[in-house]
Chains A and B, each alone.
Chain A
Amino acid sequence: GENVEQHPSTLSVQEGDSAVIKCTYSDSASNYFPWYKQELGKRPQLIIDIRSNVGEKKDQRIAVTLNKTAKHFSLHITETQPEDSAVYFCAASKAGRRALTFGSGTRLQVQP
């Protein structure tokens, strides 16, 4: 089955700096890659997603890039703010089996 690896497990940045979280996936048939943000004790919230026919997608301070050849995708957060502090999860799914396989998460801490 699909395996998604996520790095780093923890990331600390200064407010205003950029943060990058990377994920690799094993199943070349995967075609949908969402990113979720989860605050302590809360539900995961979808922040951005990318489909396999697109190489990059941006939404304000958040961007995601996808390299299908290398089977990896990354989340980029620019101008980080303290409210960006949370756990971020990447995930992958493929046609047919649409359930998500999640990475293990990255705890991002933005220092004011």
Chain B
Amino acid sequence: DGGITQSPKYLFRKEGQNVTLSCEQNLNHDAMYWYRQDPGQGLRLIYYSQIVNDFQKGDIAEGYSVSREKKESFPLTVTSAQKNPTAFYLCASGQGGDEQPQHFGDGTRLSIL
């Protein structure tokens, strides 16, 4: 959706380096989500935030960190503790109520140098 912007599109990480993926939305959505997709597989939840200044761990949070200081922004940091970071990272947002759809950004493809 045009209202969810992820950057950069491609990112390369050196060993021992932290990198931050940007996700911005102008849809006035309360909830934002980060998912990881490995080749040929489904999406797995890393972190999610239902309101500003609050977030919860998903199923695979180890080696990742997030912040939610502004409603429109939910950056994801891939730390050096994440030993297998190569994947397609997708950010999503939604109105946050029950039974509400989520819409995705175009993703960031992260690779190891």
Q: A: which residues have CB within 8 A of B?
A: 1, 6, 31-32, 34, 36, 42-46, 49, 51-52, 89, 93-96, 98-105
Choose from A1, A46, A89, A98 the contact partner of B98 (Cβ within 8 Å). Answer: A98
Q: Are A44 and B104 in contact, CB atoms less than 8 angstroms apart?
A: yes
* Chain A residues whose C-beta falls within 8 Å of the C-beta of B107 in the assembled complex: 43
* Chain A residues whose C-beta falls within 8 Å of the C-beta of B25 in the assembled complex: none
- Least CB distance from A40 to B in Å reads 11
CA distance A89 to B90 in the complex (A): 14
Q: Does B45 contact A (CB under 8 A)?
A: yes
Q: B: which residues have CB within 8 A of A?
A: 31, 33, 35, 40-45, 48, 50, 58-59, 90, 94, 96-107
Choose from B90, B96, B103 the contact partner of A98 (Cβ within 8 Å). Answer: B96
* Chain B residues whose C-beta falls within 8 Å of the C-beta of A49 in the assembled complex: 101
Top-4 shortest CB links A-B: A102-B42, A32-B99, A43-B104, A95-B98
Q: Are A43 and B90 in contact, CB atoms less than 8 angstroms apart?
A: yes
Q: Are B99 and A43 in contact, CB atoms less than 8 angstroms apart?
A: no
Closest to A104 in B: B42
The count of A-to-B residue pairs whose CB atoms sit within 8 angstroms is 60
- Least CB distance from A103 to B in Å reads 6
Given contacts A42-B106, A98-B50, A89 and B42 within 8 Å (CB-CB): yes
Choose from A96, A100, A104 the contact partner of B102 (Cβ within 8 Å). Answer: A100
- Least CB distance from A15 to B in Å reads 25
CA distance A42 to B107 in the complex (A): 8
Q: Are A98 and B44 in contact, CB atoms less than 8 angstroms apart?
A: no
CA distance A93 to B102 in the complex (A): 11
* Chain B residues whose C-beta falls within 8 Å of the C-beta of A6 in the assembled complex: 42
- Least CB distance from A25 to B in Å reads 13
